[in-house]
Amino acid sequence: MTMMEECDFYICAVCFSVSEHPGTHHNREMVYCEQLPVGDERLKPVIDLEGALKTRAPRWFLEAVWDAAGMEYPADLQS
């Protein structure tokens, strides 16, 4: 196992509890989160073209939650 893989974790989309191991929390599958490099765009919340904050959650979380729900990432939130 590499250092990168050891940094991966799972998060509950309901209460944001994190775990190093997959499982369920609040009767939902915990969302897998890969370690992102410092400064990665996905670490930031979604901001529109005018620089206004569209979400408070970082993009990696939104993408992970939508992916877990089997939904496409909404086009109007694409930066």
Q: How far is the CB of 12 from Zn ion (least distance, A)?
A: 3
Q: Alpha carbon of 48 to those of 12, 37, 44, 53, 62: distances in Å?
A: 26, 22, 12, 7, 15
Report the residue closest to Zn ion, judged by CB. 12
- By CB under 5 A, name the one of 8, 18, 22, 26 that touches Zn ion: 26
Question: Does the protein bind Zn ion through residue 14 (CB under 5 A)?
Answer: yes
The helix/strand/coil state of 31 is strand
Question: Does the protein bind Zn ion through residue 65 (CB under 5 A)?
Answer: no
Question: Does the protein bind Zn ion through residue 23 (CB under 5 A)?
Answer: no
